Amino acid sequence: MGTLLSVRDLWRSFGGLAVTQGVSLDLEAGSQEAIIGPNGAGKSTFFNLLTGYHRPTSGSIVFDGVEVSHMPPHRIVRRGMSRAFQVANIFVRMTVFENVRCAVQAHMGRTLDLFGNAESQGTERSREILEMCSLADKAETEASSLAQGDRKKLELALALASDPKLLLLDEPTAGMSLEETHETMKVVDGLNRTLGITVLFTEHDMSVVFNHARRITVLHRGKIVAQGLPDEIRNNEYAQEIYFGEKS
């Protein structure tokens, strides 16, 4: 398997403050990896850079053989990189099903279909995705009345609608109960193993990280300070010190 994502010497500063300082990272297709680091380490900014929400000050991001560092978010999504947010970002005044159907129709390129009937397009695929994220029973619920855990599941469902090759998950289990965490990570493992989707996630819960990531990258103050297999990171003194020492 080849390299799906290749980040080289990525920099980004906000008003003189360098938040991302020369990050380089390679991701093999089919892998499932985690990025960890204390609050403010630059994880979210890193995701924002990858997905085009912020433009890097310098550096390159090659995704699936194409330089994407200057593309707007929607074009990067269409190339097969999608993300789920840490704080659920959903369409609150639509039902769960309409949420996913809208994303599926966007992936089908139906967004500018002004006169077609939305109710007859992409419904099969939407049901499938809801099934996958165990949200099928809540399809007709208005998104604003979902519980926190279900919101995060819907967040994942929206990310899946674009049939991604690479899925970026920002704290996928934040705010979930133990049971929901387990369930969600099982879904994520399934996406990776059976559908071959490459997964890169950030997570605060160390047991989730060590159980579900095959490789871990430690980010601290905008720089990569350690990288390795879970066991290596567990025993890496530097990582322990900066991460576990400062863990809030």
Partner 1 sequence: MKFSRIGPASVFFAFMAIVPLAGSVFWTMIATEVLIMGLFAMSFNLIYGYMGQISFGHAAFFGIGAYATAMIGRTFGNDYGWFFLALAMSVPVAAIFAAIIGFFVIRRTGIYFAILTMAFGELMFFLVFSSYSVTGGDNGIQGLLPPPLLRAPSHYHYLVLCVVALCFVLLWRITQSPFGYTLRAIRDNAKRVRFIGVNVEFCMWVNFVVAGAFAGLAGGLWAPFTRSVAPTLLNWQESGIPVFMALIGGAYTFAGPLFGSLIYTLLHAWVTGVTQYWSLVIGLVMVFIVFLAPTGVVGSVLRQWRTPGISAPAEPKTPTVASPERG
List contacts with partner 1 (CB under 8 A): 51, 53, 72-74, 77-78, 82-83, 85, 89-94, 98-99, 101-103, 105-107, 110-119, 121, 142, 144-145, 158-159, 161-162
- Which CB atom, from 152 or from 220, has the smaller least distance to partner 1? 152
86 close to 101: Cβ distance less than 8 angstroms: no
Least Å distance, CB 90 to partner 1, is: 7
- Which CB atom, from 53 or from 210, has the smaller least distance to partner 1? 53
**Amino acid making up residue 204:** H
- Which tokens belong to 28? 């093999």
Least Å distance, CB 94 to partner 1, is: 6
Alpha carbons 174 and 181: distance in angstroms, whole number: 8
- Which CB atom, from 118 or from 229, has the smaller least distance to partner 1? 118
- Which CB atom, from 118 or from 195, has the smaller least distance to partner 1? 118
Q: What is the DSSP string of 64-109?
A: TTEE-TTS-HHHHHHTTEEEE-SS----TTSBHHHHHHHHHHHHTT
Torsion angle of alpha carbons 182, 185, 189, 190, nearest 10°? Answer: 80
Least Å distance, CB 1 to partner 1, is: 25
Least Å distance, CB 178 to partner 1, is: 27
